[in-house]
Chains A and B, each alone.
Chain A
């Protein structure tokens, strides 16, 4: 069945709300407005103001409220409008949600799901366009997800709500309008593994979230030039699925990590380090990365495009590893 990423996410939320009375959705404009990205359109009417709760512009407050509700036995889904705004709630997420199991000696867990939009590409300017997934992927106690496909948008929320500990889900803003086929596989989606989306022999393109489709486009472009690229969707940013990453890199012996985060201190850097640690002797070339330029994401379209990883940059990077540039 063909549907948009937005619709897949909407169905996932609808299922969760319909199936479990402990689940409720909370965030800025999720109710009467239907969500900043229209993911919860119609929910307010269907489930009522108790379960679809509009919040004031106070991330620290309402994320904290969500954590409290989770401690109290609810299964809250807290939506933050963009990752930029989530920094206001970092204290609650990092110092409270991620730590309570540890601080209470295992007596309390925080089964909260925090969803947020991330990424650039829609000319929303610097304060709405950054990719800070790595900030969260750094923190023990969190599971960090980056659904990039229709199946994952539809399937990841269920296991995230089942998880007894906090789960952060990053939804790339550019993906909401993407349309694709929903396969039956969505029912068996896990929140622990990476996935080979396109098998190839000569170079592995490792990507997540908004860069996955760019990597797939790059793989098509490379194929046209006779280079057989594999695309791995990381899917889960914490914990990283080393086994799938290394298996792919060992097969192809070359890797390009594609990450919309800034290069310095990026997840790409972490993945490269792991490849060095675990697969160095299987490499035929230094691991490469394509990241965002180290600037605030510009508003102007041509500058925004230039600042972000693009298929052409990925292609050039892969070709450099193969001496086919």
Chain B
């Protein structure tokens, strides 16, 4: 009997998801045949077999995820009968049962016992101090070599591993920690209130289509740009949403730096700022947005961009949601969300029509502003978004 185990298809791989079996019971396979397609979180990979035999049992189904080393199929060796294989399978299963049966174990069972014991004894020992330090530094114990008695991993081993690790290795853990800390602080300290309003984008869509006409795909302006601009302009009239809450008091921002929430492909979220959105033109804003997203995803942001934001704008429309009720990023005091732009029935001047509509929402800090002003602020965003011709003009008031 041949046990076909899920092979490791790279150092990073510890499990795989079966996408497709290329074999069925009864098929004859030979060395080098592709037997399955497995997704390894990086890509789908054709898995080959290195033995010759007849497929007997397939042990996992499509979409099933199993650790590397799991037996996923059994094959009959050339000339082997299914009865013989069944017997061998039973023996192996018995060998893995920890309770020893009376009498001398069969040779195969004995081998199994020894194997099982070896597995227990080879369990990596890690000192309590090392475990604690590894958790603090986000070091994966599986990648650390122990130098203590009997190969115990001690704290020095962790320090060494952390020092030699490329920082990128733990970036996602660290990012998760950072998000967790900021969001927990936000919900702990900031009394949020939430408002939302629907904005018809008939005029804006038409205006944008006209503006993008004749431009190449790369040059086309995204609808997010005039929406960002509308937020920035509205902030000029409602400055209590633009700034930071520090040491028990609100400090208004000296400029409008919009933090743009960008989700990263590897998971996690980053909200770097575009500076002075109230004073730049729409084309320049588009250019800066594209640049920012690209650099955010490449993780080559400047540190100032990470700290300058005076308010955050998040757009979850691409994910299909209509309403965002965001968590404010401290020490900011407000977050504006845009949902998906959908065609909805819209009543205007007593007529019903189909219009592209977006739901704009506001999460704001009740220590700094009240719902009344929040409503006016959202209404101002709605008004500006429907008057795109004026968005390119310089800001007025303050």
Please list the residues of chain A having a beta carbon within 8 angstroms of any beta carbon in chain B. 253, 280-285, 320-323, 325
> Quick check: B149 and A283 within 8 Å, CB to CB?
no
- Does B152 reach chain A (CB closer than 8 Å)? yes
- Does B128 reach chain A (CB closer than 8 Å)? yes
CA distance in complex: A281, B152 (Å): 15
Q: Give me the 4 closest cross-chain CB pairs, A-B, nearest first.
A: A284-B154, A284-B127, A323-B149, A281-B128
A321 neighbours in B (Cβ, 8 Å): 149
Closest residue to B147 on the A side, CB-wise? A323
A280 neighbours in B (Cβ, 8 Å): 128
> Quick check: B148 and A284 within 8 Å, CB to CB?
yes
Choose from A282, A320, A325 the contact partner of B128 (Cβ within 8 Å).
Answer: A282
A253-B154, A253-B155 are known contacts. Are A285 and B131 too (CB-CB below 8 A)? no
> Quick check: B127 and A285 within 8 Å, CB to CB?
yes
Given A253-B155, A284-B148, output 12 extra A-B contacts at Cβ < 8 Å. Answer: A281-B128, A282-B132, A284-B128, A284-B129, A284-B152, A285-B148, A285-B149, A285-B152, A321-B149, A323-B148, A323-B152, A325-B149
A253-B154, A253-B155 are known contacts. Are A283 and B127 too (CB-CB below 8 A)? yes
Q: B145-179: which have CB < 8 Å to A? A: 147-150, 152, 154-156
Choose from B129, B149, B150, B154 the contact partner of A281 (Cβ within 8 Å).
Answer: B129
CA distance in complex: A322, B152 (Å): 10
B274 neighbours in A (Cβ, 8 Å): none
CA distance in complex: A94, B130 (Å): 43
Closest residue to B146 on the A side, CB-wise? A323
List the count of A-B residue pairs having beta carbons below 8 Å apart: 39
A320 neighbours in B (Cβ, 8 Å): 149
B130 neighbours in A (Cβ, 8 Å): 284
CA distance in complex: A250, B152 (Å): 18
The B contact surface, by secondary structure, is helix
CA distance in complex: A282, B158 (Å): 13
B154 neighbours in A (Cβ, 8 Å): 253, 284-285
B129 neighbours in A (Cβ, 8 Å): 253, 281-284
B156 neighbours in A (Cβ, 8 Å): 284
Closest residue to A325 on the B side, CB-wise? B149
A285 neighbours in B (Cβ, 8 Å): 127, 148-149, 152, 154
CA distance in complex: A107, B1 (Å): 86
Closest residue to A276 on the B side, CB-wise? B128
Closest residue to A320 on the B side, CB-wise? B149
B155 neighbours in A (Cβ, 8 Å): 253, 284
> Quick check: B148 and A281 within 8 Å, CB to CB?
no
Please list the residues of chain B having a beta carbon within 8 angstroms of any beta carbon in chain A. 127-132, 147-150, 152, 154-156
Closest residue to A280 on the B side, CB-wise? B128
A322 neighbours in B (Cβ, 8 Å): 148-149
CA distance in complex: A321, B128 (Å): 14
A283 neighbours in B (Cβ, 8 Å): 127-129
A253-B154, A253-B155 are known contacts. Are A281 and B132 too (CB-CB below 8 A)? yes
A282 neighbours in B (Cβ, 8 Å): 128-129, 132
CA distance in complex: A322, B148 (Å): 6
A284 neighbours in B (Cβ, 8 Å): 127-130, 148, 152, 154-156
A281 neighbours in B (Cβ, 8 Å): 128-129, 131-132
**Minimal beta-carbon separation of A129 from chain B (angstroms):** 34
Closest residue to A282 on the B side, CB-wise? B129
**17 A/B residue pairs, CB under 8 Å, sorted by A:** A253-B129, A253-B154, A253-B155, A281-B131, A282-B132, A283-B127, A283-B128, A283-B129, A284-B127, A284-B148, A284-B156, A285-B152, A320-B149, A321-B149, A323-B147, A323-B148, A323-B150
Q: Which of B127, B150, B155, B156 has the most CB of A within 10 A?
A: B127
Closest residue to B157 on the A side, CB-wise? A284
**Minimal beta-carbon separation of A67 from chain B (angstroms):** 46
**Minimal beta-carbon separation of B129 from chain A (angstroms):** 5
**Minimal beta-carbon separation of B52 from chain A (angstroms):** 47
CA distance in complex: A321, B149 (Å): 7
CA distance in complex: A322, B150 (Å): 10
B132 neighbours in A (Cβ, 8 Å): 281-282
CA distance in complex: A281, B150 (Å): 19
CA distance in complex: A240, B347 (Å): 81
CA distance in complex: A325, B149 (Å): 9
CA distance in complex: A284, B149 (Å): 10
A323 neighbours in B (Cβ, 8 Å): 147-150, 152
B148 neighbours in A (Cβ, 8 Å): 284-285, 322-323
**Minimal beta-carbon separation of A97 from chain B (angstroms):** 41
CA distance in complex: A284, B147 (Å): 11
**Minimal beta-carbon separation of B31 from chain A (angstroms):** 44
B128 neighbours in A (Cβ, 8 Å): 280-284
Q: Which of A253, A320, A321, A325 has the most CB of B within 10 A?
A: A253
B150 neighbours in A (Cβ, 8 Å): 323
